[in-house]
Amino acid sequence: MRRPLTTVTAAAFLLVSVASTVGTADAAEVRVPASVPATQCTSRDAFPPGGGTNTGGIPNRYQYSNSPYAGARFDGCADTLQIYYGDFSNPRYAYYEIAYTYPSQLGWYRWVDRGMGRRVWSVRPPITRGDWNFKVRACANTFDSPGPGTCTAWSPQLFLHAV
């Protein structure tokens, strides 16, 4: 059976129109406006893989019943890494001890902050990209002469993937 030429022409026209529309849509989906940066910035918060009580805040802070809280945030746009810790106001304690690991380095490093209350430690840029771990405890006496029982338990160990 032969079809009239107008039916074949109309079908061909519709097929070409649909194909053109689909091709245009595909091109529009991959087009990026000039105002959007080539790479997106990331902001990541640390979390405790081994558990702990989330006390809230921005970023979230985690603690055990007998430890200071700890939280951390990486901001890739500003190239900052900040560790939030503290809220341990017992007058017996005089300083915080922060233990941390960072990318490409083995073992725990320690840093002492001679203040109490709520604290923020900013890691100096440029931030080494990769996996970081943090934990914090409050200690009594001077850090030159620690003895048994002079520090609280460590906060939950936090993991932060800073990329």
Question: What's this model's pTM, rounded to 2 decimal places?
Answer: 0.69
Please answer whether residues 81 and 122 qualify as being in contact, where contact means their C-beta atoms are separated by less than 8 angstroms.
yes
Report d(CA 76, CA 91) in Å as an integer.
37
User: How does pLDDT run across 25-80, given as a tens digit for each residue?
Assistant: 332 233 334 444 445 788 999 999 999 999 999 999 999 999 999 999 999 999 99
Distances from the Cα of 85 to the Cα of 1, 4, 20, 143, angstroms: 84, 81, 59, 18
Question: So what's the pLDDT on residue 118?
Answer: 86
Task: Report the percentage of the chain scoring pLDDT > 90.
Answer: 48
